[in-house]
């Protein structure tokens, strides 16, 4: 709280209504708006107050009459006090003949003239002989006029009303005093009535003197008559008239000069007093130029308050001039208001100006509309710009449409040219984050009443439509350039034809674009937009996320298809017996899972987990399926393209001679680094098994751990398919291996015209059996060269066919001699013994059948066979070890 | 809040006289508000009043700043009647204003009908030494002749501004004390009689 204001100086200290007074003192506040009250002689003159400094105010006096105080009130100091007095004149108390310290307006400028020129008895002596009360006249003249219609309080008037007089002059006089006054009045009247006679009586002496004098004059006149003629006063009269004329001549001139002077002075006075008004057009123009709109508005309000209702013609010119300027200013401000870019604060200020200037514009609404239009236009121009940058790009793309070129240049394209649609989306996101909040803010300000303008009916709906339109356009622009398929045809036509880049290209950018859209989304969420609006973007995001996921998976599928096999088996480390193909596959899948998880999967603000949506889940399954089957496809391609580039090399792998595969491997290694067909089959088989048993489970775990819903179904499918593939590959291999191996048994057996009806006792097993063993050892070596995991599968199957063949051949023998039977048993048992570890039940059966076909032996013969077997095993100890599992 | 103090301090009524433009208003505003007004705006009749401490005593000074222009000569009588002390100002840069002091002195004596009315002759604008037209000698001689003090002031530099007002107030205070002593009974009687007369008439 500040100290209360004190008025200690007035310049001037008296004057009629309309006097311009410099009021000095202390604590008048620190700015014009601190002054909240000003009365001069009890009349509120705040409107005219002009704050100059904490010590000085200039104001114009009102209709207060008589001596009174000048009281200033300030916002922080309250109502003040006054040390000095101001004396307000009644206009009528100053006539042309009265001297005054100030110039008096003789034509009333204001409508204050209702104090008509009635000649009050202000200076007259009171008829009751009482002193006149210092005018603390509480009874307003209006009241008196109303109550005493047609009367007045002037004692000399024929319309005199005693009631009026008493109320006006003696409202506070006591009854006793009034009675005394009445007595006084009576005495005076009495005195006037009977006074004549007593007056004569009392002054008889001087009356007689007067009579004498009159007689003397008469006599004198008589004696003068002959001397001066009948009309002695004629000459005198003439002289008087003459002098009167002369005087008038002089006086007229002086008077007219005085009148003129008076007029000039009045005019000057008016000019001086209303300098403010007359200078205002210029001042306003200057301030408009300087941009001091607050001052302009302040001045304008003052003029409006003071002169709007004036009837004085002079005062009409200036305001109309001012109005013209103000109108121009309004137009300019309105223009500025709608010129973008502009901050909300600036707009608010302009709206306040326009409201204060009583502009006919619906400024606030126009500001909102222009903002909304601006955003839409901006979208469009951004779109157009990027459309124009796209042209040359398209040519380039055509040039590189060929897959090879694209693949080789992919790096180049990445560096040089970000696709137009990516730039476009980036920019449109940045733009909405930047300029949409302002639209929202100004709208809020408008509807919350902060702008202090009337909100028209229906605006709420219209505004909502605007906001929705902006957001929808935003979403549609984005959809049109990445996922046009989600738009209907009309929208697709309206929102552009930016070319959606090819999958591999866009895949790089999608996570980043998703981030851009999300960042805009979170900006809008922070604004507290209605759900209805936010959901539009929410849906866009959902579409984008699904699209992103789908594209990423598709890209991976493509990459998987491109994977090449290097046929390098890894012999140590975590993944033994496989090439790096399945590992690369795993790597790719893990990578894509990670990326999808990071970009699309998890929901950020106001987003639900992507895969809660059935559509998304279905899409995921579809994509996982296609990834897995892509790999399945690669594996199966690898296993069936027999004649990759080395058709000539698919020659016999198994010969009667030992060690051929090694040499053939050598040649191919030197040539292409591609192993022979059988090896490739084995490698692929191994990869298959490894994928089925390890990789797929790892992928499954990775999906789970990354928060994807279960894709068990897909994986199991893939497993089944892989199993089938394995079987096929194995069949292929066996076809390649066991057929020749088994096929050699019979010819070898009868080599050199051998006959089972021999007479020589066996000393060893026959060469065909040894060859068979060696051949199996070769296969064993080949398989273990790839992966020991394959041994069981492969060797068991071969042994089965060997056993079956043996049975077939044996059953075809016409006649066994004793010795022949011994030999056959030794051979079969040796094979049985050697192949023991890889003998399935079926094989066992075939061996048994084969033995059954051979004639039974005596005990002595059995011992001999045992002996032969023992010797053979000793001799072929190394071969035996080869086929033993340890 | 308008609580009226029961014992209002004594009021000393001072009147500024002198030709137009000599610095009456300037002196008044300098004394009242410590400000110097550069531009010249003819005065009509201005009132100022403030509380001050005069030799340890709370008093109020009431200053009536008047017009110097001839046009208003006729109404001066009215003002002068209410004054208890006068500062008669001229500008040391303008001889005419010095000559005019004679007329003011006479008018005051005529209206107040009192040779010993508190009165100071003040030569203002003493900061404009290079434009001086009235010598110190000249002015002090006139003051001596009238039996009043002569002080030179500058409303611009504030030189002697307080002095002239305080000196004058001391004289007024002294006069009032004298009056109370000499006309203790009589003065009261007189006023009573006057009032009664008024009523009867
Ligand atoms: N240099 C100077 N100028 C003064 C002094 N006193 C008054 N003035 C100037 O003289 C002009 C008239 O002063 P003003 O007080 O209005 O004269 P008034 O008519 O006697 O009231 C104004 O422009 C003042 O600035 C002073 O002591 N020194
Ligand atoms: Mg002045």
Average pLDDT, chain A: 80
Q: How far is the CA of B21 from the centre of ligand 1 (A)?
A: 6
Helix axes A677-690, A614-640, angle to 10 degrees: 160
User: Residues of B with CB below 8 A from A183's CB?
Assistant: none
**Longest alpha-carbon distance in chain A:** 228
Say what the pLDDT of residue A407 is: 44
Higher-pLDDT residue of A828, A604: A828
**∠ Cα A644 A648 A654 (to 5°):** 105
Tokens coding A580: 């790096």
* Closest chain B residue to the Cα of A127, Cα to Cα: B201
Say what the pLDDT of residue A419 is: 80
Q: Enumerate residues 72 to 101 of chain B having a beta carbon within 8 A of any beta carbon in chain A.
A: 72, 74-75
Helix axes A818-834, A859-875, angle to 10 degrees: 40
Which of A363-367, B42-46, B141-145, B188-192 bottoms out in mean pLDDT, i.e. has the lowest?
B188-192
Question: Residue A476 and residue B178: Cα distance in Å, rounded?
Answer: 102
Q: Is B107 on the interface with A (CB under 8 A)?
A: no
For residue B198, the Cα-to-chain-centroid distance in whole angstroms is 31
Atom number, ligand 1, closest to the C-alpha of residue B128: 1
Which of A42-46, A341-345, A638-642, B191-195 bottoms out in mean pLDDT, i.e. has the lowest?
B191-195
Q: How far is the CA of A60 from the centre of ligand 1 (A)?
A: 25
- Does B32 contact A84 at a Cβ distance shorter than 8 Å? no
How confident is the model over A631-655, as a mean pLDDT? 61
**Model confidence band, residue B72 (pLDDT cutoffs 50, 70, 90):** low
Say what the pLDDT of residue A63 is: 82
Q: Is A101 on the interface with B (CB under 8 A)?
A: yes
Say what the pLDDT of residue A641 is: 67
- Does A81 contact B43 at a Cβ distance shorter than 8 Å? no
DSSP 8-state assignment for residue A160: B
With 80 as the cut, is the pLDDT of residue A819 above it?
yes
Q: How does strand A6-11 pair with strand A20-26?
A: antiparallel
- Does A13 contact B47 at a Cβ distance shorter than 8 Å? yes
| Residue A644: CB atoms within 10 Å | 14
Q: Residue A459: name the closest of A484, A442, A436, A476 by CA.
A: A442
Q: Enumerate residues 678 to 707 of chain A having a beta carbon within 8 A of any beta carbon in chain B.
A: none
User: Residues of A with CB below 8 A from B197's CB?
Assistant: none
Q: Residue A442: name the closest of A503, A497, A549, A363 by CA.
A: A363
- Chain A closest CA to B114's CA: distance in Å? 25
Atom number, ligand 1, closest to the C-alpha of residue B26: 15
Q: Is A100 on the interface with B (CB under 8 A)?
A: yes
In terms of C-beta density within 10 A (0-12 exposed, 13-18 middle, 19 or more buried), how is residue A446 classed? buried
Phi, psi angles (nearest 5°) of residue A92:
-75, -15
User: Residues of A with CB below 8 A from B200's CB?
Assistant: 129
- Summarised one tens digit per residue, pLDDT across range A234-266 is 888 888 999 888 888 877 877 887 888 888 888
* Closest chain B residue to the Cα of A77, Cα to Cα: B1
- Summarised one tens digit per residue, pLDDT across range A269-295 is 877 777 777 777 888 888 888 888 888
User: Residues of B with CB below 8 A from A23's CB?
Assistant: none
Question: Residue A499 and residue A766: Cα distance in Å, rounded?
Answer: 77
- Summarised one tens digit per residue, pLDDT across range A152-196 is 777 777 778 888 888 877 777 788 888 888 888 887 777 666 667
Top mutation candidate among B15, B16, B21 for ligand 1, by most atoms within 8 Å of CB? B21
Say what the pLDDT of residue A574 is: 64
- Does A14 contact B45 at a Cβ distance shorter than 8 Å? yes
**Model confidence band, residue A675 (pLDDT cutoffs 50, 70, 90):** confident
Q: How far is the CA of B18 from the centre of ligand 2 (A)?
A: 9
User: CB under 8 Å to A47, separation ≥6 — which residues?
Assistant: A302, A305, A306
Question: Residue A184 and residue A129: Cα distance in Å, rounded?
Answer: 7
**Model confidence band, residue A600 (pLDDT cutoffs 50, 70, 90):** confident
Q: How far is the CA of A46 from the centre of ligand 2 (A)?
A: 26
Say what the pLDDT of residue A532 is: 86
- Summarised one tens digit per residue, pLDDT across range A303-323 is 777 776 667 776 777 777 778
With 60 as the cut, is the pLDDT of residue A593 above it?
yes
**Cβ–Cβ < 8 Å for B80, B107:** yes
- Chain B closest CA to A90's CA: distance in Å? 18
How confident is the model over A468-490, as a mean pLDDT? 84
- Chain A closest CA to B13's CA: distance in Å? 12
Q: Is B188 on the interface with A (CB under 8 A)?
A: no
**Model confidence band, residue A133 (pLDDT cutoffs 50, 70, 90):** low
Question: Residue A567 and residue A875: Cα distance in Å, rounded?
Answer: 38
- Does A84 contact B48 at a Cβ distance shorter than 8 Å? yes
Q: Enumerate residues 5 to 64 of chain A having a beta carbon within 8 A of any beta carbon in chain B.
A: 8-15, 22, 24, 55
Atom number, ligand 1, closest to the C-alpha of residue B125: 27
Q: What does A322-358 look like in DSSP terms, one character per residue?
A: HHHHHHHHHHHHHHHHHSSS--HHHHHHHHHHHHHTT
Atom number, ligand 1, closest to the C-alpha of residue B153: 27
With 50 as the cut, is the pLDDT of residue A606 above it?
yes
User: CB under 8 Å to B84, separation ≥6 — which residues?
Assistant: B12, B13, B14, B118, B172, B175, B176
Which residue of A8, A13, A24 is in closest CB contact with B45? A13
Per-residue b or e along A419-433, where b marks 16 or more CB atoms closer than 10 Å to that residue's CB: bbbbbbbbbbbebbb
With 80 as the cut, is the pLDDT of residue A229 above it?
no
**Model confidence band, residue A365 (pLDDT cutoffs 50, 70, 90):** confident
**Model confidence band, residue A646 (pLDDT cutoffs 50, 70, 90):** very low
Which residue of A55, A100, A102 is in closest CB contact with B33? A55
Q: Is B146 on the interface with A (CB under 8 A)?
A: no
- Summarised one tens digit per residue, pLDDT across range A685-719 is 888 888 888 888 888 888 888 888 888 888 888 88
Q: How far is the CA of A1 from the centre of ligand 1 (A)?
A: 37
- Does A100 contact B199 at a Cβ distance shorter than 8 Å? no
How confident is the model over A738-766, as a mean pLDDT? 84
Q: How far is the CA of A65 from the centre of ligand 1 (A)?
A: 33
Q: pLDDT over 90 for what percent of chain A?
A: 7
How confident is the model over B86-104, as a mean pLDDT? 94
CA distances from B78 to A94, A311, B5, B47, B86 (A): 16, 38, 30, 15, 14
Which of A51-55, A336-340, A614-618, B6-10 bottoms out in mean pLDDT, i.e. has the lowest?
B6-10
| Residues with a CB atom less than 6 Å from ligand 1 | B 18, 20-26, 37-40, 43, 68, 124-125, 127-128, 154-156
Phi, psi angles (nearest 5°) of residue B87:
-105, 115
Q: Could you say which ligand is closest to the alpha carbon of residue B69? A: 1
- Summarised one tens digit per residue, pLDDT across range A373-409 is 999 998 888 888 888 877 554 444 444 444 444 444 4
Higher-pLDDT residue of A113, B133: B133
Which residue of B32, B67, B72 is in closest CB contact with A8? B32
Q: What does B103-123 look like in DSSP terms, one character per residue?
A: HHHHHHHHHH--TT--EEEEE
Average pLDDT, chain B: 84
Say what the pLDDT of residue A255 is: 81
Higher-pLDDT residue of B2, A249: A249
Say what the pLDDT of residue A416 is: 53
- Chain A closest CA to B48's CA: distance in Å? 4
**Model confidence band, residue A90 (pLDDT cutoffs 50, 70, 90):** low
Higher-pLDDT residue of A352, A666: A352
**Model confidence band, residue A414 (pLDDT cutoffs 50, 70, 90):** very low
- Summarised one tens digit per residue, pLDDT across range A423-435 is 888 888 988 888 8
How confident is the model over B59-73, as a mean pLDDT? 78
- Does B45 contact A85 at a Cβ distance shorter than 8 Å? no
With 60 as the cut, is the pLDDT of residue B116 above it?
yes
- Does B75 contact A101 at a Cβ distance shorter than 8 Å? yes
Say whether A266 sits in a helix, a strand or coil: helix
Question: Residue A197 and residue A211: Cα distance in Å, rounded?
Answer: 17
Say what the pLDDT of residue A329 is: 84
Which residue of B43, B50, B64 is in closest CB contact with A83? B50
With 60 as the cut, is the pLDDT of residue B178 above it?
yes
Tokens coding A117: 């020129």
**Model confidence band, residue A652 (pLDDT cutoffs 50, 70, 90):** very low
* Closest chain A residue to the Cα of B64, Cα to Cα: A13
Q: Enumerate residues 22 to 51 of chain B having a beta carbon within 8 A of any beta carbon in chain A.
A: 25, 29, 32-33, 35, 43-50
Q: Could you say which ligand is closest to the alpha carbon of residue B155? A: 1
Say what the pLDDT of residue A56 is: 93
- Does B32 contact A24 at a Cβ distance shorter than 8 Å? yes
Which residue of A8, A22, A101 is in closest CB contact with B45? A101
Say what the pLDDT of residue A736 is: 80
Say what the pLDDT of residue A91 is: 57
Which of A45-54, A443-452, A659-668, B112-121 bottoms out in mean pLDDT, i.e. has the lowest?
A659-668
How confident is the model over A654-680, as a mean pLDDT? 53
Say whether A765 sits in a helix, a strand or coil: coil
With 50 as the cut, is the pLDDT of residue A576 above it?
yes
- Summarised one tens digit per residue, pLDDT across range A844-878 is 999 999 888 888 888 888 888 898 899 998 888 88
How confident is the model over B114-134, as a mean pLDDT? 94
Higher-pLDDT residue of A718, B194: A718
- Chain A closest CA to B77's CA: distance in Å? 12
Question: Residue A784 and residue A788: Cα distance in Å, rounded?
Answer: 5
With 90 as the cut, is the pLDDT of residue A539 above it?
no
Top mutation candidate among B40, B43, B89 for ligand 1, by most atoms within 8 Å of CB? B40
User: Residues of B with CB below 8 A from A268's CB?
Assistant: none
């Amino acid at each position: 709280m500040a100290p209360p204001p004190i008025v200690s100086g007035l310049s001037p200290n008296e004057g009629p209504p309309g006097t311009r007074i410099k009021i000095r003192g202390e604590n008048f506040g620190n700015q014009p708006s601190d002054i909240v009250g000003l009365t001069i002689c009890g009349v509120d003159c705040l409107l005219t107050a002009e704050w100059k400094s904490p010590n000085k105010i200039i104001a114009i006096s009102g209709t207060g009459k008589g001596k009174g105080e000048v009281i200033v009130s300030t916002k922080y100091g309250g109502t003040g006090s006054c040390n000095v007095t101001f004396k307000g004149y009644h206009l009528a108390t100053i006539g042309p003949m009265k001297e005054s310290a100030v110039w008096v307006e003789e034509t009333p400028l204001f409508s204050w003239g209702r104090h008509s020129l009635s000649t009050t008895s202000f200076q007259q002596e009171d008829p009751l002989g009482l002193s006149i009360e210092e005018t603390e006249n509480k009874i307003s003249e209006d009241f008196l006029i109303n109550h005493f219609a047609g009367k007045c309080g002037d004692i000399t008037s024929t319309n005199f009303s005693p009631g009026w007089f008493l109320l006006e002059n003696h409202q506070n006089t006591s009854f006793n005093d009034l009675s005394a006054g009445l007595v006084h009045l009576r005495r005076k009247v009495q005195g006037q009535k009977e006074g004549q006679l007593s007056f004569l009586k009392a002054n008889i002496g001087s009356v007689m003197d007067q009579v004498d004098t009159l007689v003397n004059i008469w006599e004198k006149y008589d004696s003068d008559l002959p001397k001066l003629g009948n009309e002695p006063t004629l000459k005198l009269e003439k002289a008087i008239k003459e002098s009167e004329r002369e005087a008038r001549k002089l006086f007229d001139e002086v008077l007219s000069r005085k009148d003129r002077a008076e007029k000039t002075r009045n005019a000057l006075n008016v000019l001086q007093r209303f300098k403010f008004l007359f200078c205002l057009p210029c001042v306003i123009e200057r301030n408009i130029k300087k941009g001091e709109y607050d001052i302009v508005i302040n001045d304008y309000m003052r003029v409006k308050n003071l002169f709007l209702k004036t009837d004085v013609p002079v005062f009409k010119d200036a305001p109309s001039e001012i109005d013209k300027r103000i109108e121009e200013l309004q137009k300019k401000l309105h223009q500025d208001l709608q010129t973008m870019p502009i901050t909300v604060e600036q707009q608010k200020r302009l709206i306040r100006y326009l409201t204060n200037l009583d502009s006919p514009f619906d400024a606030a609404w126009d500001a909102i509309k222009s903002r909304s239009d601006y955003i839409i236009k901006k979208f469009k121009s951004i779109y157009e710009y990027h459309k124009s940058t796209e042209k040359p790009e398209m040519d380039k793309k055509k040039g590189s449409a060929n897959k090879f070129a694209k693949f080789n240049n992919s790096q180049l394209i990445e560096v040089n040219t970000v696709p137009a649609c990516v730039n476009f989306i980036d920019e449109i996101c940045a733009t909405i984050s930047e300029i949409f909040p302002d639209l929202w803010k100004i709208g809020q300000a408008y509807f919350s009443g902060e702008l202090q303008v009337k909100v028209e009916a229906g605006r709420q709906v219209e505004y909502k439509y605007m906001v929705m339109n902006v957001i929808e356009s935003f979403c549609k622009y984005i959809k049109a350039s990445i996922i046009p398929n989600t738009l209907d045809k009309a929208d697709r036509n309206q929102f552009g034809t930016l070319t959606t880049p090819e999958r591999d290209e866009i895949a790089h950018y999608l996570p980043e674009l998703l981030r851009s859209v999300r960042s805009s989304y979170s900006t809008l969420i922070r604004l507290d937009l209605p759900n209805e609006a936010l959901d539009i973007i929410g849906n866009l995001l959902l579409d984008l996320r699904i699209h992103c996921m789908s594209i990423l998976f598709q890209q991976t599928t493509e990459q998987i298809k491109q994977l090449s096999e290097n046929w390098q088996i890894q012999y140590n480390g975590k993944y033994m017996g496989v090439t790096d193909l399945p590992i690369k596959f795993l790597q790719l899948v893990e990578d894509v899972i990670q990326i999808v998880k990071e970009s699309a999967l998890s929901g950020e603000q106001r987003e639900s987990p992507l895969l809660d949506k059935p559509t998304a889940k279905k899409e995921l399954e579809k994509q996982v399926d296609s990834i897995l089957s892509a790999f399945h496809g690669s594996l199966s391609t690898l296993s069936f393209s027999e004649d990759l580039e080395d058709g000539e090399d698919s020659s016999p792998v198994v010969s009667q001679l030992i060690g051929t595969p090694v040499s053939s491997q050598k040649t191919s290694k030197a040539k292409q680094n591609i192993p022979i067909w059988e090896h490739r089959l084995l490698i692929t088989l191994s990869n298959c098994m490894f994928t089925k048993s390890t990789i797929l489970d790892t992928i499954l775990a990775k999906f789970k751990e990354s928060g994807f819903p279960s894709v068990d179904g897909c994986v199991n499918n893939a497993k089944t398919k892989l199993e089938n593939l394995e079987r096929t590959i194995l069949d292929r291999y066996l076809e390649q291996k066991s057929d020749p191996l088994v096929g050699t048994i019979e010819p070898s057996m009868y080599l050199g015209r051998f006959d089972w009806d021999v007479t020589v006792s066996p000393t060893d097993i026959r060469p065909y059996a040894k060859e068979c063993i060696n051949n199996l050892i070769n296969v064993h070596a080949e398989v273990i060269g790839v992966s020991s995991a394959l041994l069981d599968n492969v060797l068991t199957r071969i042994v089965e066919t060997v056993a079956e063949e043996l049975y077939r051949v044996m059953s075809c023998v016409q006649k066994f001699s004793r010795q022949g039977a011994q030999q056959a048993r030794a051979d079969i048992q040796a094979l049985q013994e050697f192949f023991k570890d890889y003998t399935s039940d079926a094989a066992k059966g075939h061996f048994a059948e084969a033995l059954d076909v051979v004639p039974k032996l005596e005990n002595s013969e059995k011992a001999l066979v045992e002996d032969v077997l023992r010797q053979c095993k000793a001799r072929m100890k190394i071969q035996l070890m080869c086929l033993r599992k340890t | 809040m308008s609580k009226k103090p029961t014992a209002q301090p004594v009021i000393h009524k001072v009147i500024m006289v002198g030709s137009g433009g000599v610095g009456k208003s300037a002196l008044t505003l300098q004394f009242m508000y410590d400000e110097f007004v550069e531009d010249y705006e003819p005065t009509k009749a201005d009132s100022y009043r403030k509380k001050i401490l005069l030799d340890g005593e709370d008093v109020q000074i009431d200053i009536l700043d008047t017009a110097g222009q001839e046009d208003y000569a006729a109404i001066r009588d009215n003002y002068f009647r209410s004054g208890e002390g006068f500062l008669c100002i001229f500008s040391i840069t303008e001889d005419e204003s010095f000559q005019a002091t004679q007329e003011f002195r006479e008018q005051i004596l005529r209206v107040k009908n009192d040779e010993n009315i508190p009165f100071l002759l003040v030569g203002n604008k003493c900061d404009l030494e290079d434009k001086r037209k009235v010598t110190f000698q000249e002015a002090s001689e006139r003051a001596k002749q009238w039996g009043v003090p002569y002080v030179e002031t500058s409303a611009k530099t504030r030189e002697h501004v307080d002095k002239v007002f305080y000196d004058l107030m001391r004289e007024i205070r002294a006069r009032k004390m004298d009056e109370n002593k000499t006309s203790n009974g009589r003065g009261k009687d007189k006023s009573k009689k006057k009032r009664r007369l008024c009523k009867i008439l």
